Structure 1
Amino acid sequence: MEEKLTVLVVDDTPENIEVLAGALGKEYRIKAANNGHVAIKIAQMQPAPDLILLDIMMPDMDGYEVCEILKSQPNTAHIPIIFVTAKISPEDEIRGLQLGAVDYITKPITPIVALQRVKTHLALANQKRELYIQVEEQTQEIRQSKLEMIERLGRAAEYKDNETGMHVKRMAHYCYLLGIASGMNEEQATRLKNAAPMHDIGKIGIPDGILLKEGKLTSEEWAVMKTHVEIGGDILRNHSHSELLKMAYTIAMSHHEKFNGQGYPKGLAGEEIPLVGRIAAIADVFDALTSERPYKQAWSDDRAFGLIEEEAGEHFDPKLAALFLSLREQILEIKERFKD
């Protein structure tokens, strides 16, 4: 049997509560409050009422004030409120609707009218809720598709010099972990994780003969290799509408900068380098060291962590390097989970 919806009746006159309870009680579960303070407490309980019938003229706190408070709080703002009043001017009616009420019922109450109004607005609220769920599902699907496309574009670049493309997954998760440890909130760190896979998208523009060369690059070849930063920047530039792509651009342009100013492409130093670039630098280098590449064998975990420690203050932000070292157990768990 389907559970009854709940209607909260708020009125300082017991007789009015009895009339409404009698009119609605067969179809709905009724809760009652004889003043505004009690009404707010009941509305904030879980599960919340599905609809509120609210008297306007009450001592201490009138219905308008109760409505305003409920509509200002996220956990009660969605509840439909119908005002119940003996008489009302057009100005008062406008005021109530502006505060968020959906309708008015006038006293003396006609039970069949009250029941029909409640049915109508509960049906509308249910339709609104269903529509919201559908929109959220579709929005989430679009959002997820965009994130998958970004990751796959990042992996497209990595496939040129990495057999599985798992580097971008590991590096992204290292970035998230270090972002949280450095003080980012969940939203910022998640955006960093989603943007990080684009850090080397510019490798798409580097000739395979250079990218896949076994052995040391010549100075001319290294100059070409370094242009992947600007190529990546060109791909990601001018996406002012997307915070995610703006962050991806920043990472692509700054993850090869060094804390001592000896990096590229701009030779930025210290905190001139954006935080996301400093984080990505550590994550990228660690994963590159511990991964097999055409030109090198994979380093041991101890040796790679040792280099991060040695290069603190030179290649890497020393504070971030120390945080990364403190996260060794979580880092190695990610490395194992997304191994090639």
Structure 2
Amino acid sequence: MQEDHDEKPVVLVVDDSPENLDVLSGILRADYKVKAALSGERALKIANSYKQPDMILLDIMMPEMDGYEVCFRLKSNPATRKIPVIFVTAKEQIDDVTKGFRFGAVDYIVKPVQPAVVLARVKTQLELYDQNRMLEGKVRLRTQELNDTRLEIIQRLGRAAEFKDNETGLHVVRMSHYTRLIAEAVGYGEGWADLLFHASPMHDVGKIGIPDHILMKPGPLNEQEWEIMKTHSEIGGQIIGNHQSELLKTAQIIAFTHHEKWDGSGYPYGLKGEEIPLPGRIVAIADVFDALTSERPYKKEWSIEDSVQQIYQGSGTHFDPHLINIFREVLPDILDIKEQYAESKYVEEPVTGSMNVIELYAG
């Protein structure tokens, strides 16, 4: 046990009897920092405080809010559900202990309490709690490492596609930021918007599989060449493959569907309306807007006004009308991103000393 008083585990004792609180506090005080509550309501406030208890000893029979209700509320709240709860019960209530376990208690102590029993039960459950927290920390760290690795793979594959394409790395940087702005405004939360932000750079990875004489052609493609070019969506989805990772699942969906159109005239599957997954609908707008406003070997850069008008005209045909309304709302932020990552601000070097575009994703 830690010698420093401030480092002692915190045990919250809950009982409507001051005498019982005194008894339990006296048993625990030498080894633990003890907090006390005379009611269930007070116990919940302490449990939800900045300095949460590491353990709760909870009386079952209390007025207004009994121990079962307190335990149920603790376990229903994500902020407190992991705190171990030990019920303190009279001998005649032992048959009701199983009910306590159903509510999430980890153990029980019988009144009148025996000091050795109290200390042994608390020590055991705190050790288990510490082991669980340590294990959860390791799992979180490993999960983060896996997610970081997947993200790095996505960014590197996206970069590989750019080296073969006639677009610059800044295209995927800008369109991924545009994607996040639109996704944030859709309202499914910051986590989902970040997911699309990290997955969208893989949208054109399938261009790796397109022959150079088609991909690098400076003029318009003929019909046969265009049919070959359109296969890059399916190639991209196949390159990414099927995974349990939400990041890679989303990247595959985007690769497959970002060229589908609201009216069903897109490719590769001719999906229509809400048949098109939402990530694909969002990336479609972000991708086309950046393509229109960027210079390519086969076209001049369009003005902002003409590009925006083209996007608006595609509402209900090329693009989801609801998302076009959202595009209007976030357009000022999109234009800020376009300025921040303008081609004129970055000069790419030869492949042997390439600009680290990956770093730009942090935005």
Identify the TM-score tier after normalising by the shorter chain: 0.7 to 0.9
Say whether 1:65 aligns with 2:69: yes
Say whether 1:44 aligns with 2:48: yes
Residue 186 of structure 1, aligned match among 187, 190, 210? 190
**Root mean square deviation of aligned Cα:** 2.8
- Unaligned ranges ≥5, structure 1: none
Residue 279 of structure 1, aligned match among 282, 300, 307? 282
**Structure 1 residues 307-316 or 199-208, which shifts more?**
307-316
* Secondary structure of 2:164 counterpart: coil
Q: CA deviation at 1:240?
A: 6.6
Say whether 1:294 aligns with 2:297: yes
What is residue 163 of structure 2 aligned with on the other side?
159
**Structure 1 residues 324-333 or 202-211, which shifts more?**
324-333
How far, CA to CA, are the matches of 2:190 and 2:252 in structure 1?
20
Q: CA deviation at 1:201?
A: 1.8
CA 1:35–1:204 in structure 2 vs 1: closer, same or farther (change >3 Å)? same
CA 1:319–1:56 in structure 2 vs 1: closer, same or farther (change >3 Å)? closer
Q: CA deviation at 1:203?
A: 0.6
What is residue 323 of structure 2 aligned with on the other side?
320
CA 1:68–1:309 in structure 2 vs 1: closer, same or farther (change >3 Å)? closer
Q: CA deviation at 1:264?
A: 2.9
* Deviation readout 1:163-212 (Å, 9 max, x if unpaired): 64232232222122112323444344333323322221211110111111
**Structure 1 residues 299-308 or 76-85, which shifts more?**
299-308
* Secondary structure of 2:141 counterpart: helix
Decide whether the 8 Å contact of 1:200 with 1:229 is kept in 2.
Answer: yes
How far, CA to CA, are the matches of 2:161 and 2:5 in structure 1?
54
Say whether 1:136 aligns with 2:137: no
User: What TM-score does the superposition give when structure 1 sets the normalisation length?
Assistant: 0.86
Q: CA deviation at 1:2?
A: 5.6
Q: CA deviation at 1:285?
A: 1.1
CA 1:18–1:303 in structure 2 vs 1: closer, same or farther (change >3 Å)? same
How far, CA to CA, are the matches of 1:270 and 1:108 in structure 2?
68
How far, CA to CA, are the matches of 1:2 and 1:145 in structure 2?
42
How far, CA to CA, are the matches of 1:307 and 1:244 in structure 2?
31
CA 1:264–1:125 in structure 2 vs 1: closer, same or farther (change >3 Å)? closer
Decide whether the 8 Å contact of 2:180 with 2:196 is kept in 1.
Answer: yes
Q: CA deviation at 1:136?
A: 0.8
How far, CA to CA, are the matches of 1:251 and 1:96 in structure 2?
48
Q: CA deviation at 1:243?
A: 4.3
CA 1:337–1:27 in structure 2 vs 1: closer, same or farther (change >3 Å)? farther
Correspondences of 1:97-112 after superposition (within 5 Å)? 97-112=101-116
How far, CA to CA, are the matches of 1:235 and 1:61 in structure 2?
58
Decide whether the 8 Å contact of 1:161 with 1:294 is kept in 2.
Answer: no
How far, CA to CA, are the matches of 1:261 and 1:78 in structure 2?
49
**Structure 1 residues 269-278 or 133-142, which shifts more?**
269-278
- The percent of aligned pairs where both chains have the same amino acid is 57
Say whether 1:81 aligns with 2:85: yes
Residue 332 of structure 2, aligned match among 323, 329, 340? 329
- Unaligned ranges ≥5, structure 2: 344-363
Decide whether the 8 Å contact of 1:158 with 1:167 is kept in 2.
Answer: no
User: What TM-score does the superposition give when structure 2 sets the normalisation length?
Assistant: 0.81
What is residue 196 of structure 1 aligned with on the other side?
200
How far, CA to CA, are the matches of 1:270 and 1:114 in structure 2?
63
**Structure 1 residues 309-318 or 224-233, which shifts more?**
309-318
What is residue 28 of structure 1 aligned with on the other side?
32
CA 1:325–1:98 in structure 2 vs 1: closer, same or farther (change >3 Å)? closer
CA 1:62–1:188 in structure 2 vs 1: closer, same or farther (change >3 Å)? same
How far, CA to CA, are the matches of 1:53 and 1:120 in structure 2?
13
CA 1:246–1:8 in structure 2 vs 1: closer, same or farther (change >3 Å)? closer
Runs (4+) off by over 6 Å: none
